[in-house]
Structure 1
Amino acid sequence: MGEYKTEEQKKKFYRTGDWNRLRQQALERDNNECQQCKREGKVHVDSIKVQGERKSVELNVHHKYGIEHYPKLALVLDNLETLCLQCHNKMHDRVFGATKEKKWDDERW
């Protein structure tokens, strides 16, 4: 167990066999479904691998308590949950392609 403060330290962690095995356990436990969508009454499952094509990434395994602040929980299954990319990005306040709402609907002169 180490520190995961820098991007390089985090990348190194996410390439380890220990992480990949635990990640797979979390996906299986969560039936390859986004747990946040499930809480909202929706279903978002993993994509299916098509022969000869690259599999699209639909799901991430999210640390409820981030590894940079809680390194001891980095490899704890109960600290993980499966989320679709959209929900995962919302959890981390990363919203892409959002349009700004107009303040006024009328024309400007």
Structure 2
Amino acid sequence: MSRIRNTSFYKDKRWVSRRLKMLKADGYECQNCKRFYKTKEAKVVHHIYFYEDYPMLGLLKWNLVSLCNECHNRMHDRINDRATKLGIEWQEKRAEEFELYFKNK
């Protein structure tokens, strides 16, 4: 699969709006830290299935999660641009929604 690098997406008003709504809905709390009963401010909205691989999922709520910077960096292997073990764990949590999306297309 070829990866799409579209930095203009992150400036689009639809993304800006969705990002703010996600952060607000999650109470500006990192959802990964919250799993471990920690409270940390979320500043990033992460695409569970990476936008570069699945741009059509870019605005879908089930594919987004609010994270602190530290947890966001733990989702990506920045060297080979792939999901880490933690990133794959979150993808497995959303596998049913992922499969349903493509089954209905």
Q: CA RMSD in A?
A: 1.7
Partner of 1:40: 36
In 1, Cα distance between equivalents of 2:41 and 2:32: 11
Higher helix share: 2
In 1, Cα distance between equivalents of 2:77 and 2:53: 17
CA offsets per residue over residues 84-107 of structure 1, 9 Å max, x none? Answer: 00000011134xxxxxxxxxxxxx
Contact 1:4 1:71 (8 Å CA) reproduced: no
* Structure 2 residue 21 is matched with structure 1 residue 25: yes
Partner of 2:88: none
Is the radius of gyration larger for structure 1 or structure 2?
1
CA offsets per residue over residues 43-96 of structure 1, 9 Å max, x none? Answer: 0025xxxxxxxxxxxx100001111111111011121110000000011134xx
In 2, Cα distance between equivalents of 1:65 and 1:87: 15
In 2, Cα distance between equivalents of 1:93 and 1:85: 14
Query: Which consecutive segments of 4 or more residues in structure 1 shift more than 6 A?
Result: none
In 1, Cα distance between equivalents of 2:77 and 2:35: 19
Partner of 1:91: 75
User: TM-score when scaled to structure 1?
Assistant: 0.65
User: TM-score when scaled to structure 2?
Assistant: 0.67
Contact 2:48 2:64 (8 Å CA) reproduced: yes
Unpaired runs of 5+ residues, structure 2, are 79-105
Number of matched pairs: 77
* Structure 2 residue 68 is matched with structure 1 residue 69: no
Contact 1:67 1:74 (8 Å CA) reproduced: yes
Unpaired runs of 5+ residues, structure 1, are 47-58, 95-109
